[in-house]
Amino acid sequence: MKDLLQEAPVVPVVVIDDAAKAVPIANALVAGGLSVIEVTMRTAAAADAIAAISAEVPNAHIGAGTVLSGEQAGAIVAAGARFIVSPGLHDGVVSVANELSVPIIPGVATATEVQNAWNLGLRTLKFFPAGQAGGIEMIKALASVFRDVVFMPTGGVSPKNLRAYLELPAVAACGGSWLTPADAIEKGDYDRITELAAEAVAIAKEVRG
């Protein structure tokens, strides 16, 4: 998963209320250069959305976000999710992911949580909520101790600070919801989503080549 994130250093965090829009959204993101997509489990349509993308957008590497329990993790992998992202660190979710051989990126915000994740064998972690938890300076501090861990900061990441996050060696990728604005999804303005994805890709290429 670490290698995949470094190749696709911006991960759209997508909230989908209507599963019928899932495939057009995914196609728009892939067209803009972002193929690793996280659909959050915050809506009733999320599982159907993931299943549709998994079946119909072969160039997308689709995952599930906001996975809160082991039961939910098992169900969403059955629907087609190829990786799992959680807002926090929960042994049950990690256990199910390991049993199913599916990569998991749990959320952490403190040194204690990073240490717990490290001792579970996890080396790619979501730093969440990045803006409120100390942002760039906190990642630097954590990385100085946990030198084999890489982070995916999410929460408060935007085009204004994306470059600064991606310049950190300990950041594998950044997660962001700005790439799929709710109003663009509602209006079916998929060209706008493609443009936002392409802008993020351009920033990433400037930083990492």
DSSP assigned state of 16: -
Instruction: Decide: helix, strand or coil at residue 187.
Output: helix
Residues with catalytic roles: 38, 126
Going by their DSSP bridges, the two strands 36-40 and 10-14 should be labelled as: parallel
Taking a C-beta distance cutoff of 8 angstroms, is the pair 68, 92 a contact?
no
Query: By CB neighbour count within 10 A (0-12 exposed, 13-18 middle, 19+ buried), where does 100 fall?
Result: middle
| Gap between the Cα atoms of 100 and 21, Å rounded | 28
